[in-house]
Chain A
Amino acid sequence: MSEPTIETIRVLAANQGVELSDARLAQAADTHASQRPDLLALRAIPLAFLGDVLEPDTALRWIENGGSR
């Protein structure tokens, strides 16, 4: 997937009824560009469909249990 450009972000914003100035769009594009390598690394990590399936609340249980599931 290609990196979102300012124009892409402008279209996505308009689709959500959000109007952003050019300066804010540039900030948004810079933020996404700086985080993109690590975001791609996050996307590349396999998450199980079968067996040991992690859900968002698994993390909450880990915390409440003092560091175990």
Chain B
Amino acid sequence: MTDVKVPTDLADATATELLSLYASGAASPTEAVQACLARIEATEPALNAIITLLADDALAGAAAAGQRWQAGTARALEGVPYALKDIIATAGVLTTGGSGLYLDNVPTETAAHAARLADAGGLLMAKLGTFEFACGGAYNQAFGPVRNPWDVERTTGGSSSGSGAAVAAGQVPLAIGTDTGGSIRIPAAYCGITGIKATYGRVPRHGVMGLSWTLDHAGPMTRSVEDAALMLGVIAGYDERDAYASTRPVPDYVAALGAPVAGTRVARLRGFFEEPMDPAVGAAYEVAVAELAALGIEVVDVELPEIETAVAAAWTTMYPEMLSLHERHLPTIEERDTMGAGMLAAAPFIAATDYVRALRYRTIFQEQLATAIDGFAAFVLPGSTAPPPELSALSPDSDEGNHDWLATATRNHIPFNYSGSPGLCVPAGFADGLPISLQLIGRPHDDAALLHLGHAFQAATSHHLARPPAVEAVLA
């Protein structure tokens, strides 16, 4: 085959496109890695997305991957560059948690889902910036803030800050983020990329520095839904080292893409989820919902009766689990980044009865969701209700800006960490030059339905193809 279109710059190719190019012989893994390294060199000074760059390893792996393609033994992600949030363990490679407390932490074992990426032929390019321990705030004292490729004076959001910036800027086509209260979906929304938090237990968490085992998820951050489906298919599945890993078989997520969506019904979550809403974001979101409806999807308004209570229950669940996991860090709390330090300080005073009540109430909220979604394929709601704030508005050494940002940014996400429902964010337009996002929430273990809808949306729109100014500037 010689008719495969080669992108102007391989750093802008999706994983799916790279695999097609490799298969046709139109490009090689070495060329793709070199393109990503060039993009990193050009954009990293402005973005600060990477903690550890693994250029030599990736180039060596690319050469071996090229041989596999030539030998006809290529695997699912053979020769595709990817990167990991730096709370994900990698054997023999520094894993800092984004913290000055773990600057010399080199694990001896690779996280379960990260090992699956490597076993599928993926090439680990970098360990990426993160809020300290996935909760520290936008200003990382140890490594500095990651900057948003759409406006480098603004935050990427987090906590998967480096993953959002790196994928949006074309440093890598695939990254893993983690999500306890929106930490995949918030930076996906702020950076104009695709991010999926699959059903709780779908992707094993073994090897990930935990924040709250009831709420923690790991998942793909990509530039297309098709890539998210591809990556999820590789990393999903049972692992005996994760006590809550699902034993259900992993479906073929890519095969679920492309079927017609006309006639599908989607429930639009109103009320709490759209109030308050930045006016420009709200206007762009209305256009995005209209684009969804233009696919022949019926959009029906619904509200959830006890959503504020569910949010409180989620935080009441997170704090004690965070304290249990981070108990050893209490003596060094003043060395931690401010937002995480504040959360940890608040944690000891959740009553045991409140924690257990929150875990028992979880099923009540789940069943409220089940009632509300009855007759619909998914919920739709904004991935963000406000633009990413300027970094100058988020204090590096106090709660100023951080507390309000945390509450605003997580409110459309944390309920679904609590319920365990899958959530997918896709780019959906722009407000004042910054990306906005459409979020789809589904039934547990119906991740494929979200990917199906999200792919149909991307097939009909071009929001996900836009490139941020930080990239355009280096290509000019």
Q: Which residues of A contact B (CB under 8 A)?
A: 4, 9, 12-13, 16, 18, 20-21, 23-25, 27-28, 30-32, 34-35, 38-39, 41-43, 45, 47, 54-56, 58-60, 62-69
Q: Given the complex, which residues of A lie within 8 Å of B358, measured CB to CB?
A: 42
Other-chain residue from B312, B343, B346, B367 in contact with A39 (beta carbon distance below 8 A):
B312
Tell me the bound Cα distance from A31 to B359 in angstroms: 20
Tell me the bound Cα distance from A32 to B316 in angstroms: 10
Residue of A nearest to B366 (CB): A62
B359 touches A56 (CB 8 A): yes
Tell me the bound Cα distance from A18 to B118 in angstroms: 42
Given contacts A24-B341, A63-B201, contact A38 B349 (CB under 8 A): no
Tell me the bound Cα distance from A60 to B361 in angstroms: 12
Tell me the bound Cα distance from A68 to B370 in angstroms: 8
Q: Given the complex, which residues of A lie within 8 Å of B361, measured CB to CB?
A: 42, 45, 47, 54
Other-chain residue from B315, B364, B444 in contact with A35 (beta carbon distance below 8 A):
B315
Residue of B nearest to A41 (CB): B309
Residue of A nearest to B397 (CB): A23
Q: B109 contacts the other chain (Cβ, under 8 Å)?
A: no
A41 touches B308 (CB 8 A): yes
The tally of residues in B whose CB lies under 8 Å from a CB in A reads 47
A32 touches B346 (CB 8 A): yes
Min CB gap B376→A, angstroms: 12
Residue of A nearest to B418 (CB): A59
Residue of A nearest to B330 (CB): A18
A66 touches B446 (CB 8 A): yes
A62 touches B363 (CB 8 A): yes
B348-359 contact mask (Cβ, 8 Å, vs A): 1 or 0: 110000101111
Tell me the interface secondary structure of chain A in the complex.
helix
Q: Given the complex, which residues of B lie within 8 Å of A55, measured CB to CB?
A: 360
B199 touches A23 (CB 8 A): no
Q: Given the complex, which residues of B lie within 8 Å of A45, measured CB to CB?
A: 306, 309, 361, 364
B311 touches A54 (CB 8 A): no
Q: Which residues of B contact A (CB under 8 A)?
A: 199-201, 244, 246-248, 306, 308-309, 311-313, 315-316, 330, 333-334, 341-343, 345-346, 348-349, 354, 356-364, 366-367, 370, 398-399, 403, 407, 420, 443-446
Q: Given the complex, which residues of A lie within 8 Å of B330, measured CB to CB?
A: 18
Other-chain residue from B246, B348, B354, B363 in contact with A69 (beta carbon distance below 8 A):
B363
Given contacts A38-B312, A67-B370, contact A54 B364 (CB under 8 A): yes
Q: Given the complex, which residues of B lie within 8 Å of A58, measured CB to CB?
A: 360, 362-363
Residue of A nearest to B199 (CB): A63
Tell me the bound Cα distance from A42 to B358 in angstroms: 8
Tell me the bound Cα distance from A18 to B444 in angstroms: 39
Q: Given the complex, which residues of B lie within 8 Å of A9, measured CB to CB?
A: 349
Residue of B nearest to A9 (CB): B349
Q: Given the complex, which residues of B lie within 8 Å of A21, measured CB to CB?
A: 334
Residue of B nearest to A55 (CB): B360
Interface centre among A9, A28, A69 (most CB of B within 10 A): A28
A27 touches B399 (CB 8 A): yes
